[in-house]
Amino acid sequence: MNLADLNKIALAMVAPGKGILAADESSGTIKKRFDAINVESTEQSRRDYREMLFRSGEAMRQYISGVILYDETIWQDAADGTPLVRLIEQSGAIPGIKVDEGTQALPGCPGELVTSGLDRLAERLKKYYERGARFAKWRAVIDIGEHLPSMTAIHVNAHALARYAALCQAAQIVPIVEPEVLMDGSHDIDRCYDVTQRVLNKTFQELRVQRVALEGMILKPNMVISGKKNAKQASVEEVAEKTIRMLKACVPAAVPGIAFLSGGQSDEDASAHLSAMNGIGNLPWQLTFSYGRALQAAPQKAWSGKAENVVAGQRAFTHRARMNSLASRGEWKADLEKKAA
C-alpha cells in the first residue's frame, strides 16, 4: 500500500468546490427511476443516460471530482466506442466503483440487514483497478425503529465496512466508507443523532482494528436529520449544528474528507443542509457531497429518454452540480434556485 498516493486521490475526491456523483444505482434501482419517467430500462438506455451525464462538460470539469459506477457501467463503452471510464478521466474526474453486492437478512435480527460482497473482493478489486477505478464504495444500511438498531447489526456492518476498506487499500484503491442510518422512520433528530454516533464510533473502532489508514479513505455518512415520518422536521440550522457536533465527536481529523449521502432529501434540502454546515467553518475535514438522487432527479426528468432532450438533461445536471458546489463552500442560497427556474 502506497499511502501517499491513496491520500492524494482522497484529497482530490474532496477538492474545494467539487463533489462525487453517485451513478451506481443497481439495475433494479435505476429501473424504478426510469419507470417514473416512462423510459424502458435496457442496457443501452442506461448507457445513453449515463453517457449524457459524463459528457456534461461544465458540470464534470468544474463541479464533479469523481463518479461512482455500477459494475455494468464500468465495462460499458459510449456510443462512439470510447470507454465510459475514459470519458470520466478526460473530464478530470476520477472513476470509482460500487463493490458491495447488496443486502441480505441478518440472522437472528428481524428487520435488519447486513451487506454482502466480501467473497472474492480482492480479485474483483484488481480487475476494477486495471479498468481505471481508483476508489470504491461499500454501503451499510442501519434502520431506526422501536427496538432497532441492535448492537449486532451495528457491529457486523461496521466489521464488514472495515474489512472492505482494508482490502481496498491493499489493492491501492481509496475506500468510501458508507454507514447509512436511514431517514425513513418516524424518529426525531435526537434519535438520529444517538444512533448515528453509535454507528460511527463502532465503524472507526473496527477500522482501527483492521489497520485501515484513515488518511487514505473518505467517509460517506448520513446527516443528522429528522425521520421522514416525524411530524416535526428539524430546521436547516439544527440539522447543520447537530451533524457537525456529532461528526466532531466521532470522526478523527486524519480523515481527509466527508462526502454526505442525500438519503432521500429533496434537491434543495440536500444543498441547504450542506451549505449551512460549511458555513459553520473551522472544520478539520473537507465537507462535500456524494449525491445520487439529489444530483440526478432533475436531469432524468428533463432527459426522459429522448435524444433531443440531451442538452436539457445536461443543463439540469449542471445546475444541480453547481448548486452543490456552492453548498460545499457554504455559499448556496435559495434565491439562486429561483433565478435558475
Report the distance separating Cα 212 and Cα 176, nearest Å: 12
Residue type at position 291 = Y
Give the SS3 label for residue 290. strand
Catalytic option among 98, 137, 220, 242: 220
Q: Which of these, 210, 208, 241, lies nearest to 225 by C-alpha position?
A: 241
Other CB atoms within a 10 A radius of the CB of residue 107 amount to: 10
- Bridge-based pairing state of the strands 286-291 and 257-260: parallel
Q: Is 98 a catalytic residue?
A: no
Is there a contact between 258 and 251 (Cβ–Cβ < 8 Å)? yes
Catalytic option among 25, 51, 178, 206: 178
Burial of 120 per CB tally in 10 Å (0-12, 13-18, 19+) = exposed
CB within 8 Å of 314: residues ≥ 6 apart: 52, 53, 55, 56, 59, 299
Q: Is 31 a catalytic residue?
A: no
Report the distance separating Cα 228 and Cα 86, nearest Å: 39
Question: Which residues are the active-site residues?
Answer: 178, 220
